[in-house]
Amino acid sequence: MPAKGTSMLKLTQILRLHFDAKLSTRQIAKSLSLSVGVVSKYINRATDKSLSWPLSEDIDEKKLESLLKPHPNKRCGNDDSGINFAKTHQELKLKGITLQLLWDEYTSGIKSPLSYSRYCHLYRIYKQSLKRSMRQTHKAGDKVFIDYSGKTVDIIDPETGAIRKTEIFVGVLGASSYTFAEATWTQQLPDFLASQQRMFEFFGGVPALVVPDNLKSAINKTCRYEPEVNQTYSQFIEHYSTAVLPTRPYKPKDKAKAEAGVQLVQRWVIARLRHQTFVGLAELNNAIKKLLTELNQKPFQKLEGCRESNFIAIDKPALKDLPAIAYRYRQYKKVRAGIDYHIELEGHYYSIPHRFSGKSIDLWFNQYTVECYVSGKQVATHLYSSVKGAHTTIGHHMPTNHQKQSEYSKERFIRWAGDIGAYTQAVSNKILESKPHPEQGYRSCLGLLVLAKKYGKSRLENACCYGFSKSLNTRKNIISILENGLDQCTFAQDTAQDTSYIAVPHDNIRGPHYYN
Residue 170 identity: V
Distance separating alpha carbons of residues 130 and 76, to the nearest angstrom: 9
Residue 492 identity: A
Q: What is the 3-state secondary structure (H, E, C) of 3-37?
A: CCCCCHHHHHHHHHHHHHCCCCHHHHHHHHCCCHH
Q: pTM score, two decimals? A: 0.52
- Would 271 be classed as within a structural domain? yes
Distance separating alpha carbons of residues 6 and 32, to the nearest angstrom: 10
* Cis omega (within 30 of 0) for bond into 438: no
Do residues 235 and 356 both lie within one domain? no
Name 412's Cβ contacts closer than 8 Å, sequence gap at least 6.
none
Entry field: residues in the chain: 516
Q: Beta-strand (E) ranges in 149-285?
A: 153-156, 163-173, 179-184, 209-212, 219-221, 228-229, 243-244
Q: How far is CA 362 from CA 44, 338, 341, 377, in A?
A: 76, 14, 14, 10
Give the DSSP H/E element, type plus range, for residue 201: helix 189-203
Strands 243-244 and 209-212: parallel
CA 38, 41, 44 angle in degrees (round to 5)? 150
CB 359 within 8 A of CB 372: no
Do residues 169 and 311 both lie within one domain? yes
Distance separating alpha carbons of residues 306 and 294, to the nearest angstrom: 10
Do residues 386 and 448 both lie within one domain? no
- Would 249 be classed as within a structural domain? yes
Question: Helix, strand or coil for residue 184?
Answer: strand
Distance separating alpha carbons of residues 338 and 216, to the nearest angstrom: 31
DSSP track, 39-60: HHHHHHHHHHTT--SSPPTT--
pLDDT at residue number 61: 67
Do residues 367 and 473 both lie within one domain? no
Q: In 10 A of CB 326, how many CB atoms?
A: 9
Burial class (CB in 10 A: 0-12, 13-18, 19+), 261: buried
CB 154 within 8 A of CB 273: no
- Would 514 be classed as within a structural domain? no
CB 370 within 8 A of CB 381: yes
Q: In 10 A of CB 232, how many CB atoms?
A: 20
Tens-binned pLDDT, residue by residue, of the chain (516 aa): 344 445 556 778 888 888 888 888 888 888 887 888 888 888 888 887 778 888 877 777 677 777 776 654 444 455 556 788 888 887 787 766 788 888 888 888 777 788 888 888 888 888 777 654 444 567 888 889 998 888 889 999 988 889 999 999 999 998 888 999 999 999 888 899 999 999 999 999 999 988 887 666 566 555 444 456 778 888 888 899 988 887 655 455 555 666 777 888 888 888 888 889 999 999 999 999 999 999 999 888 777 789 899 899 989 999 999 999 888 888 889 999 988 889 999 989 999 998 898 899 999 998 889 999 998 899 999 999 988 888 888 888 887 755 544 444 677 888 889 899 899 999 988 888 887 556 667 778 888 899 999 899 999 999 999 899 888 888 889 999 999 888 888 777 667 666 665 654 444 434 444 444
pLDDT at residue number 128: 76
Distance separating alpha carbons of residues 233 and 221, to the nearest angstrom: 13
The residue from 96, 130, 164 where one domain ends is 130
- Would 28 be classed as within a structural domain? yes
DSSP track, 381-395: EEE----TT-EE--G
**What is the edge-to-edge ordering of all strands in the sheet holding 360-365?**
331-336, 360-365, 369-374, 377-383
Nearest to 67 by CA among 89, 49, 86, 88: 49
Do residues 217 and 285 both lie within one domain? yes
CB 169 within 8 A of CB 162: no
Distance separating alpha carbons of residues 80 and 302, to the nearest angstrom: 17
Alpha-carbon torsion (321, 326, 332, 336), positive or negative: negative
- Would 278 be classed as within a structural domain? yes
Nearest to 424 by CA among 395, 391, 450, 385: 450
pLDDT at residue number 288: 93
- Would 485 be classed as within a structural domain? yes
Do residues 376 and 299 both lie within one domain? no
Do residues 387 and 274 both lie within one domain? no
Distance separating alpha carbons of residues 462 and 497, to the nearest angstrom: 9
pLDDT at residue number 437: 57
CB 164 within 8 A of CB 153: no
Q: In 10 A of CB 265, how many CB atoms?
A: 25
CB 28 within 8 A of CB 14: yes
Do residues 149 and 286 both lie within one domain? yes
Number of domains making up the chain: 5
Domain span holding position 303 = 143-318
Burial class (CB in 10 A: 0-12, 13-18, 19+), 418: middle
* Cα 36 versus chain centre, distance: 51
Nearest to 338 by CA among 431, 444, 413: 444
Distance separating alpha carbons of residues 267 and 246, to the nearest angstrom: 26
Do residues 150 and 274 both lie within one domain? yes
Do residues 157 and 300 both lie within one domain? yes
Do residues 411 and 456 both lie within one domain? yes
Do residues 45 and 179 both lie within one domain? no
- Would 516 be classed as within a structural domain? no
- Would 323 be classed as within a structural domain? no
DSSP single-letter state for residue 440: G
Residue 276 identity: Q
